[in-house]
Chains A and B, each alone.
Chain A
Amino acid sequence: MPHRNFKIPIGPQHPALKEPECFQIVLNGEKITSSGVRLGYNHRGIEKACEQQTYIQDMYLLERVCGICSHSHATCFIQAVEEIAGLEVPKRALYIRTLIAELERIHSHLLWLGVAGHEVGFDTLLMYTWRDREVVMDLLAMLTGNRVNYGMNTIGGVRRDITAEQIPQILKAVDILEERTKYYIQIATEEITFIKRLSNVGVVAYEDAIRLGAVGPTARASGVERDVRHDDPYAAYGELSFNVITDKHCDVYGRAVVRVGELMESYKMIRQLLANMPEGPITVKAPRKIKPGQAFSRYEAPRGEDVHYVQANGTDKPERVKVRAPTLANVQAVSHMLKDGYLADLPIVIAAIDPCFSCTDRMIAVCDENKSPEILTWPALRQRSIEWHRSRGIDFSQLNREFKIPQGT
């Protein structure tokens, strides 16, 4: 069995991957000497489909490019359409779009933190972050009616207003999330196994991150101070005060530090948005047919810069829609990160640019052969779980006190 130039294909279907892609790895012992990437297994022809549907249908289609950054793609697209049509979107609508955008970032970053924990065998972190993530998922469901694919946008504004009763609920949830994020920052800066496992793994130096065109937290963790929200402000970002979080570690650890830091900035932005939200309409009437023209729209999605180019031809269907999601920009950086690293680090290195997968149901149906199906609500399920464990002598309430888990979530 040769130990040099041992080639293994990881993908397109592989248990370590969340989505189909193929990494062709060449190993020398357990070290990766080179790697190639084959993408496209998820190609669905969305750009072509966009040319055959109306602008409003396209918005819903593009919202489904990604299960996590759905609001990112929908907003990026309609910004371009609104620019071509010359629409003045009401300020209140821009604030609401920005609010949903930041809530989306929070749920995406918390999801990532859990995945990162899982990939390095720190499953407690996965359990904690994904439980806390439910707080923001509930908020999104309350504000938009959906956990993902919010359908909040429409050409010329947003479809739902934020009511006065919702604002204190958002602020309360943000307080809870902020408290929990401080705990994760403590883990990221003090938990020695976490720091050692992620340090010097998947390294991309500052110069390489720039040369390879890395975007988002991947670039910022290599000290590249780039963030579309700051550099090319859209929606309400021009009126917000926030910091672009960067880190000098240039490795997976740095990417974790940047993301938890960005969570804190998102909470800050949400409070500003709610405190200064202008009164007024949430939409302007948009024409069905869009006059000829072109626009290039940029958006800082949770994974990095998302860009859409739209060309209109005067009909109700676009002439061309071009999408470049952030992951494509980060692919070159991944190959660079894998080189000279260990095979065992591959899952976390790939995960560190942030994979995508959807989450769905929030109701759980419990079927008992002897009883008719019973539907449990979340609080009832939680209560049943507590009682089940207590009857076996396990009491988590002591643990709750130690970690100061906020009640009533």
Chain B
Amino acid sequence: MSEENEIKSQLVEKFGFLNETTIPRARRLFADVPLGKFSEVFDYAVKQMKFSILCTITGLDEGASLGFIYHLARPSGIVLNLHTKAPKEKPVIKTVTGYFPAADAYERELADLLGAKVEGLPEGNRYPLPDDWPAGQYPLRKDWKVEMLDGKGANENATS
């Protein structure tokens, strides 16, 4: 676990608030990053710490806020899971397509399924919901029910 511990020390040295980073098993690290500091930490991990692979981005409905986990990996097999969150009233995150063009599909998923607003995401087709999907309905939110598609309580979880 020496490489994992080194990564944690390097992160904590640079960003003191990451001292609660956990290493639940070999090759896995989980860190909570405040939204305001996220771009800085992400940039450092990708550019200075050789986390050159973005496995995917997981979106979460965490009640009052939306959670986002960026699963970054090193070619050596270690995965750094960076978690951040944004309030549902203003679920705005910045795009990482500048670092990883393949993040395009992952970020469109966050927008379609959870209602996240991704700043800087280039114009393009939506993904994965159909073009005629009703506005303001985000199926991966916990309060979304399939009946809403028939217009019952259609705007209950709308934020826009």
Residues of A within 8 A of B (CB): 36-40, 43, 45, 47-48, 83, 210-213, 226, 228, 231-233, 293-296, 298, 305, 307, 309, 311, 320, 322, 324, 328-329, 331-332
New A-B contacts (16) at CB < 8 Å, excluding given A43-B128, A309-B56, A322-B56? A37-B125, A39-B128, A45-B139, A48-B140, A83-B24, A213-B53, A213-B101, A213-B102, A228-B77, A232-B27, A232-B77, A295-B24, A307-B56, A309-B58, A311-B60, A324-B106
Does B58 lie within 8 Å of A320, measured CB to CB?
Answer: yes
- The answer to whether A226 and B75 touch across the interface, beta carbons within 8 angstroms, is yes
With a cutoff of 8 Å between Cβ atoms, the chain B residues found around residue A295 in the complex are: 24, 28
The chain B residue sitting closest to A214, CB to CB, is B102
B129 at the A/B interface (Cβ < 8 Å)? yes
Complex CA distance for A329 and B60, rounded to whole angstroms: 20
- Which 5 A-B pairs rank lowest in CB-CB distance, beginning with the nearest? A40-B128, A213-B102, A232-B77, A324-B56, A231-B77
Question: Given the complex, which residues of B lie within 8 Å of A293, measured CB to CB?
Answer: 24
Closest chain-A Cβ to B55's Cβ sits at a distance in Å of: 5
Shortest B51–chain A CB gap in Å is 13
Given known contacts A48-B140, A211-B101, A213-B53, A320 and B60 CB-to-CB distance under 8 angstroms: yes
| Total residues of chain B contacting the partner, CB 8 A | 40
Give the total number of A-B pairs whose CB atoms are below 8 A apart: 84
Using A45-B139, A309-B58 as known contacts, say yes or no to A39 and B127 having CB atoms under 8 A apart. yes
**Is B45 located at the chain interface by the 8 A CB criterion?**
no
**Chain B residues near A311 (CB, 8 Å)?**
60
Asked whether B71 lies within 8 Å of A309 as measured between CB atoms, the reply is yes
Query: Chain A contacts of B56 at CB under 8 A?
Result: 307, 309, 322, 324
> Which B48-92 residues have a C-beta within 8 angstroms of A?
52-56, 58-61, 69, 71, 73, 75-79, 81
Name the one of B52, B78, B125 contacting A210, with C-beta atoms under 8 angstroms.
Answer: B52
Residue among A37, A39, A213 facing the most chain B CB atoms (10 A cut-off): A213
Q: Does B81 contact A212, Cβ atoms closer than 8 Å?
A: no
**Which residue on B lies nearest to A42, using beta carbons?**
B128
A40 nearest in chain B by CB position: B128
Cβ contact within 8 Å between A305 and B139: no
Give the contacting residue for B55; candidates A83, A210, A305, A331; CB below 8 A.
Answer: A305
Q: Is the CB of A43 within 8 A of B129?
A: yes
Give chain A nearest CB distance to B9 CB in angstroms: 21
- Docked pose: A320 CA to B60 CA in angstroms: 7
